[in-house]
Amino acid sequence: MNGVIYAVPQILCTDLLYTRKGDNALKDVENIGELHDALRNSGLLLDKESPIIQVAMYLQALTDETQRYTDHYPPIEEGMLSSEAMTSLELISDMHQTDPEGVPEDSGWYYYARRFAEGMGRAYIGYSESMDVMDENASDMDFRLFSMTDDKDVPLFYVDAAAINAKVSDEKKALALDFLNMITGKEMMVRASANGGNPRYLLATRYGIYDALASDYPIYAELKNVATVPNACVFRIKPDGDAYLEEAAKHVGILPSLVE
């Protein structure tokens, strides 16, 4: 990238909608409006404590509304927010269910994914790796990409990439490139995802990783359908991205029930 860095995509993240197999009222839900029609005012679990994550949810809703992906950030400030995208966040807030006993301080990652696997709520929104904490109950879940509005879903992914500084010496650059290719390669990623028999359900960028894992862990065959969805787009962050997100979070902070 502009002679400054080399980067190889390694892992993807995107919001998936989880429902339980056998919940026929939810098995065909494809967007937030349909989910709200089914759940009304309770039953949706999320691990979405950060206001900045709520900004990302707003941007997903805006992309689904406009049916147009842009690689720059639209203004997020008073008087310039999309009413349709904000309505989607309000519907999520209406459906959001929290543990009446609160979240323990030592709960760790994906608390509500674990609670969903234990039987709490009827739907859960989270990343693929949240199945890591669902243990054997992960096979009892259906998951899918979904639209944040009533429009067609425009899949948006975060990308974790391994990167090196392109300005290192030639000797170090060769070693760094070898290392970068190793940690993003199929063999290493298969081992990391399988995790010694406790699969982490990472959404890898290399398609062959899913084929290598699917025979032992069938969920990976379903995850490949997510990773290979046509016309997917990527969240991009620019050098001023942190400042943008911090400022935007002040204006999308309408979901106090999502923040512990």
Active-site residue list: 13, 129
Of the CA atoms within 13 Å of residue 7, those in its CB half-sphere come to 13
Helix, strand counts (H, E) of the chain: 9, 8
Ramachandran area for residue 153 (φ above 0: left; ψ -120 to 50: alpha; else beta): beta
* Cβ partners under 8 Å of residue 118, min gap 6: 137
Token reading at 252: 């999308």
Between the alpha carbon of residue 157 and those of residues 59, 64, 65, 222, 236, the distances in Å are: 12, 13, 17, 17, 9
Separation CA 183–CA 96 (nearest Å): 38
CA 256, 87, 47, 189 dihedral sign is negative
CA distance 215 to 146: 27
CA torsion, points 177, 183, 187, 190, in degrees to nearest 10? -160
Which tokens sit at 203?
A: 């959404």
